Amino acid sequence: MKKLAQTFKALSDETRLRILALLTQGELCVCDLMAVLQLPQSTVSRHLAYLRNTGLIDDRREGIWMYYRLENSRQIVDEKSWQSLLAQMLLQQQAETDLAELKQYLAHKDAASCR
């Protein structure tokens, strides 16, 4: 029951929902999320750590950069419920705005933008 409560708590924060919606587009680094969310690195990293500790996202290191993606092996929420939740998140105006911003950001991102 504790893990389920932690999952719902993770989903109760707007910033974490925005991050999850952005990660539906694939793996992103912290700098990508910072640019779209317009939040400082410390805030984004704190929310990412919470989502990772809950098991909703996974990370990998490439050199000095950390990349995040949706976790495929969630054990608390079944796949049908998870897909339904993601679909509902993506219908929200804020998610549409964030995804448009991400698309524009990635189109203009150069190799030095994360440095």
User: Is 113 contained in some domain?
Assistant: no
| Phi, psi (deg, nearest 5) at residue 8 | -65, -35
- State the DSSP string of 32-54: HHHHHHT--HHHHHHHHHHHHHH
Does some domain include residue 22? yes
Phi, psi of 27 (to 5 degrees): -70, 135
Find the farthest-apart pair of alpha carbons in the chain and give their distance in angstroms, rounded. Answer: 45
Residue 72 contacts by C-beta under 8 Å, 6 or more apart in sequence? Answer: 58
Do the domain assignments include residue 112? no
Is 115 among the domain residues? no
Identify the domain containing residue 39 by its residue range. 2-105
Q: For 17-56, write each residue's pLDDT tens digit.
A: 999 999 999 999 999 999 999 999 999 999 999 999 999 9
d(CA 104, CA 115): 19
Give pLDDT, residue 72. Answer: 74
Residue 56, both tokens:
């909703």
Give the chain's domain count.
Answer: 1
In a domain, 69, yes or no: yes
Residue 11 in any domain: the answer is: yes
Question: Per the domain annotation, does 18 fall within a domain?
Answer: yes
What does the pLDDT look like over 69-103, one tens digit per residue?
998 766 667 788 888 888 998 999 999 999 999 99
- Mean pLDDT, all residues of the chain: 89
Q: Report the CATH number at residue 74.
A: 1.10.10.10
